[in-house]
């Protein structure tokens, strides 16, 4: 069993560069299905989820050349299958992103129900309802979603009852070849949606309004391969900025647009954290106690659920009490019980976490509950008294490239250790 061990109390300062966004790269990889030929993606993060998506694409006939650590050439001209295997798809929730592209290219798709982090029910009702409006028929058999468009895809107006990122992306990709115009109302507005729309438009799609609540897609007959750079990972950036804010000395994060973390950075300032924004970078430092600040997660441009765990870690050391409200994923407070093991005072009431600030954390053994929760536990270990050992770090590997190495470059006393499996 591999774990991350971090010794608290060491100086933490310097500069770090983030990779391309996980939540964008996976959808861009899926979109290459729609443009037969060789599409080149640059600034691709070298993480576990990208490897899984690569295996999904290879399984249906794509060829992938790894040009270097962060550049992929994906040849989808040989894609002949519209069925994705359960053993790969079950490993991550982003796997449903191939549904729209397969429907666009083949008019049918068989996709296993999604897996990934255990932080929500993962219902894909909105994907299904939206695609049904475009003429797709569904049947769920043996854990697989069987989708087909027997009369072709036809544009329509689809109103989402929640600004779901996954549903917006699938609808956008399925609509590219639909006859007529498709309008997605109450669309998700995340920067990763804009990145996907930019790729599709570069390929020859006609998409307008991405980044706003209303997206219009005018159907086209074909797409062509392109070269595209993945947008910087705002959540990875936010994670390192939160760590810098926790430790106090200046930390500069490069390779992302601070605008993509707008509300997070505003909340950090309310917490007493000093910021300096650049065009593609941000520097944080802190020379006063953390101020308790209420947080509620919402779809972009609201406070991202993917930054809630790291912010909980900060607020657990603030001078006073505050409330974190989770509106996106119902199981996202699993981190709280692990932080409590380190000395945090957090009470969970439904989708609210009441956080009472404590003076410090104590290093101990904790378990990573999910991707962002795992990063937050390592973050807590940076300032904790003694050594913190974080297990189940495969969650962290799903979304952070070179996590331990980057933290070590900032001064953290940290290492990955192979421990004997207690079940042996």
Active site residues: 117
Which residue ranges are tagged as binding site? 22-23, 93, 306, 328
| Residue with the two structure tokens 């810098």 | 244
Which residue ranges are tagged as binding site for phosphoenolpyruvate? 22-23
C-alpha 388/C-alpha 345 separation (Å) is: 18
- How many C-beta atoms lie closer than 10 Å to residue 337's C-beta? 14
Residues whose CB is less than 8 angstroms from the CB of residue 417 and which lie 6 or more positions away in sequence, other chains included: 2, 3, 4, 5, 389
C-alpha 65/C-alpha 73 separation (Å) is: 5
Beta bridge partners of 7: 387, 413
Residues whose CB is less than 8 angstroms from the CB of residue 405 and which lie 6 or more positions away in sequence, other chains included: none
Nearest to 331 by CA among 353, 303, 355: 353
Nearest to 323 by CA among 358, 353, 298: 353
C-alpha 283/C-alpha 269 separation (Å) is: 12
C-alpha 109/C-alpha 99 separation (Å) is: 6
How far apart, in Å, are the Cα atoms of 174 and each of 30, 49, 77?
A: 12, 23, 18
Virtual torsion, Cα 26, 27, 28, 31, nearest 10 deg = 130
Work out whether the CA dihedral 398, 402, 404, 407 comes out positive or negative. negative
- Residues 5 and 384 sit within 8 Å (Cβ to Cβ): no
Nearest to 50 by CA among 405, 401, 403, 404: 401
SS3 content of the chain, % helix, strand, coil (to 5): 35, 25, 40
């Amino acid at each position: 069993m591999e774990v991350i061990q971090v010794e608290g109390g060491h100086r933490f300062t310097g500069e770090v560069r983030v990779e391309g966004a996980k939540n964008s790269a996976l959808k861009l990889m899926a979109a290459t299905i729609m443009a037969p030929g060789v599409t080149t993606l640059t600034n691709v993060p070298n993480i576990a989820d990208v490897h899984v998506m690569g295996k999904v694409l290879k399984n249906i006939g794509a060829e992938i050349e790894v040009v270097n650590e962060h550049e992929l050439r994906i040849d989808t001209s040989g894609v002949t299958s519209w069925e994705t295997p359960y053993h790969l798809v079950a490993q991550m929730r982003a796997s449903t992103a191939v549904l729209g592209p397969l429907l666009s290219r083949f008019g049918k798709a068989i996709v296993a129900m999604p897996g990934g982090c255990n932080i929500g029910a993962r219902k894909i009702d909105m994907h299904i309802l939206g695609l049904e409006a475009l003429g797709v028929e569904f049947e769920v058999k043996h854990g697989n979603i069987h989708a087909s468009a027997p009369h072709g895809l036809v544009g329509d107006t689809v109103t989402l009852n929640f600004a779901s990122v996954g549903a917006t992306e699938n609808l956008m990709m399925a609509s590219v070849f639909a006859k007529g115009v498709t309008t997605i109302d109450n669309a998700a507005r995340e920067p990763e949606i804009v990145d996907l729309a930019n790729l599709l438009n570069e390929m020859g799609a006609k998409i307008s309004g991405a980044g706003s609540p209303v997206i219009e897609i005018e159907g086209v007959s074909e797409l062509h391969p392109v070269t595209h750079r993945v947008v910087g990972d705002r959540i990875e950036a936010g994670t390192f900025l939160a760590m810098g804010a926790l430790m106090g000395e200046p930390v500069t994060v490069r390779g992302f647009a601070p605008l993509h973390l707008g509300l997070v950075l505003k909340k950090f300032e309310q917490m007493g954290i000093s910021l300096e924004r650049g065009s593609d970078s941000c520097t944080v430092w802190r020379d006063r106690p953390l101020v308790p600040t209420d947080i509620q997660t919402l779809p972009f441009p609201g406070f991202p659920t993917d930054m809630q765990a790291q912010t909980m870690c900060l607020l657990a050391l603030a001078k006073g009490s505050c409330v974190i409200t989770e509106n996106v994923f119902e199981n996202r407070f699993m981190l709280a019980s692990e932080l409590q093991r380190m000395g945090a005072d957090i009470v969970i009431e439904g989708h609210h976490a009441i956080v009472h600030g404590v003076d410090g954390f104590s290093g101990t053994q904790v378990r990573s509950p999910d991707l962002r929760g795992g990063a937050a536990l390592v973050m807590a270990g940076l300032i904790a008294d003694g050594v913190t050992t974080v297990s189940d770090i495969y969650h962290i590997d799903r979304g952070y490239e070179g996590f331990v190495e980057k933290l070590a470059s900032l001064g953290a006393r940290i290492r990955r250790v192979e421990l004997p499996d207690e079940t042996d």
